[in-house]
Amino acid sequence: MLGVMPSECRPRNPMHPRPALAARLLASAALAALLALSVAGCKTMGDDITGSISTADTPRTEADWRSALDVWGARYRENPNDADVAIAYARALRATDQRAQAVAVLQQATIRNSHNMALLGAYGRALADAGDYPQALDVLTRAHTPDNPDWRILNAQGAVLDQLGRYNEAQQHYSAALKIMPNQPSVLSNLGLSYALTKDLPRAEATLRLAMAQPNAAPKVRQNLALVVGLQGRFAEAEQIARADLPPDQAAANVAYLREMLAQRGQLAKKGSRPFMPAPDTGT
């Protein structure tokens, strides 16, 4: 998961803010997880639904995201100096897999609004989404202050540190975020994945179960838990978790991808590759 991923080998974002079918969530997570440690060296970064736009305004389908892209794009062209518009436009760009464009929009916006913390946070997350982890970490560090920490930025910093292989530092950031926002499911999910990356699977499972127990937990939390349970050899239980609360066709797709991920994990393990997991959330 180290380094910057060239644009031509970026898979679809596994933690996409677009509310796609659960089967697609696991599918892309599986592909991203496998690609993350492949010989080709492609990397990916996750995403979450937190951000500057209220959840009531969040598009619910791919068509909605495309429509939002048109609306915010027009507003941005009319007034590129409006930080909120730039954030919303970049969010729609990321949601439609136009990550380089999102970075470019936010880079220009931060030049015009260099002290806007929300804008710096969005820029840092976009950089992480594009695979530029060192620069993302630098920008995110400037997106909040020690006397006024932001749990979302701490969570994003932890996600970037995990991508850089700095797991202990990542876990410290997640712990700091949880002190501000106890039991926040996206933070717990990231922390659980971080524990899994350090091969502490029992602790990873316990953390992901706590995340899943939260009423606002996203579907990807369940998929992360299914993977961690499967990595411990409890395949039947992992499949049960993956198919829970889903229509039969989506459940079958989730289970199929879970099996594929676990099978590929075994093949990579034989080659001595580092452990792989779906990329953590950085937020939007």
Provide the pLDDT for residue 49: 29
* Residue 199, CA distances (Å) to 121, 167, 181, 241, 275 in order: 30, 11, 26, 21, 8
pTM of the entire predicted model? 0.76
Give the whole-angstrom CA distance, residue 166 versus residue 158: 9
- What letter would DSSP give residue 82? -
- Is the separation of the CB atoms in 186 and 177 below 8 Å? no
Q: Which residues on neighbouring strands pair with residue 148, listed in sequence order?
A: 145
Tokens, residue 59: 């598009």
Q: Give strand pairing partners of 180.
A: none
Residues 6 or more apart in contact with residue 134 via CB below 8 angstroms: 4, 164
Kindly give the interhelix angle for 167-180 and 185-197, rounded to the nearest 10 degrees. Answer: 160
CA distance 51 to 20: 18
Q: Which tokens in the block code for residue 166?
A: 């700095």
How many CA atoms are closer than 13 Å to the CA of 186, on its beta-carbon side?
A: 26
Closest CA to 5 of 163, 139, 191, 120: 163
Q: What pLDDT is stored for residue 250 in this prediction?
A: 82
**How far is Cα 15 from Cα 33, in angstroms, rounded to an integer?**
11
pLDDT at 177: 97
pLDDT at 269: 60
pLDDT at 252: 87
134: how many CB neighbours lie within 10 A of its CB? Answer: 12
- In order along its 284 residues, the chain shows pLDDT tens digits of 333 333 333 334 433 333 333 333 333 333 333 223 222 222 333 444 222 233 345 566 888 999 999 999 999 999 999 999 999 999 999 999 999 999 999 999 999 999 999 999 999 999 999 999 999 999 999 999 989 999 999 999 999 999 999 999 999 999 999 999 999 999 999 999 999 999 999 999 999 999 999 999 988 898 899 999 999 999 999 999 988 878 888 888 878 878 887 887 766 566 555 555 676 777 76
Q: Is residue 155 within 8 Å of residue 283, measured between CB atoms? A: yes
Q: What distance in Å separates the CA atoms of residue 11 and residue 143, rounded to the nearest whole number?
A: 27
Task: Tell me what pLDDT residue 251 has.
Answer: 85
C-alpha–C-alpha distance, residues 267 and 108, integer Å: 44
Predicted pLDDT of residue 248: 87
Q: How far apart are CA 123 and CA 104, in angstroms?
A: 9
- Specify the pLDDT at position 51: 28
Taking the mean position of all CA atoms in its chain, how far away is CA 271? 27
The whole-angstrom separation of Cα 274 and Cα 167 is: 13
Residue 260 burial (10 A CB sphere; 0-12, 13-18, 19+): middle
- What lies within 8 Å, CB to CB, of 212 at 6+ separation is 185, 221, 222, 225
Q: Delineate the domains of the chain, giving CATH numbers in brackets.
A: 7-270 (1.25.40.10)
**Residue 260 to residue 30: CA distance in whole angstroms:** 8
pLDDT at 21: 38
